[in-house]
Structure 1
């Protein structure tokens, strides 16, 4: 909670002073190559579709149509780097993916906020985070 309070105070002060708060540093980067698109990069680099979009918010558009060859994009930021991931194949369901990964359906949804509650927006070639919950 203290980190959140500090971040909030920093954000308020930054906005009041006209300085834009920066996201956490990028931990891993990728240089876009000819023929790349977001799901292809996600599969090859082991990054969930959601994570790739989240760490590049404001840089890569929602449809991932604004990539260019040579562009450096972020793959992971501190606090947003999920492992392992799985590529969705035809006939996969959220239930089958969760079972195969040994996690609950609820955990799969929590790991992948881009999925809707009934998982009806799941599609082949999407990359999902199947990270198990932290245990103590």
Structure 2
């Protein structure tokens, strides 16, 4: 029983790896200490795109990268290499303004951003191309919209004050 499950997992991983290799425009070999955001920033690929093109190979938390593993960075004609790394206090309006984007293009290239744009985080890599360049999410796969537990939101939540209380002076 264990052998058959192990064999099935190995075959599935090989199939995903073989499929990615055939369709991949850019590849990257994982190094010790890499995380998805560091790979994305160093190779001008959005965090979303990296997750989508490696769906089934890299887990949702990007916790299963192994040194020597080859991953795909983008597909031909669906490869955004115009990127921006989110900084402290960034907002979608500010990113749009700085890159001469409208919000529709920003959201289409980065569908993991929620409508309120309160889920971008420091170190996240966004596609800031002038036209839609990222691949669609695989059928049935919804892009992660939550800020990873290990990440820091770009804009801290507003200070909540009890009703009738005066907010603190900062």
Alpha-carbon distance in 1 for matches of 2:47, 2:131? 19
5+ residue gaps, structure 1: 1-19
1:67: which partner in 2?
Answer: 65
Greater share of helix residues, 1 or 2? Answer: 1
TM-score if structure 1 supplies the norm length? 0.79
How big is the shift at 1:57?
0.4
Q: Kindly indicate whether residue 20 of structure 2 is the aligned counterpart of residue 43 of structure 1.
A: no
2:102: which partner in 1?
Answer: 104
Greater share of strand residues, 1 or 2? Answer: 1
Q: Kindly indicate whether residue 81 of structure 2 is the aligned counterpart of residue 54 of structure 1.
A: no
Find the structure with the greater CA-based Rg. Answer: 2
Aligned pair count?
114
- 1:77-96 aligned within 5 A: 77-96=75-94
- RMSD value, Cα: 1.7
Q: Which has the higher contact order (CA 8 A, sep 6+)?
A: 1
Question: CA-to-partner distance for each residue in 1:25-82, whole Å, 9 max, x for gaps?
Answer: 0111000001100000000000000000000000001100000000000001123201
How big is the shift at 1:107?
1.2
5+ residue gaps, structure 2: 1-15, 133-170
Alpha-carbon distance in 1 for matches of 2:57, 2:131? 30
1:113: which partner in 2?
Answer: 111
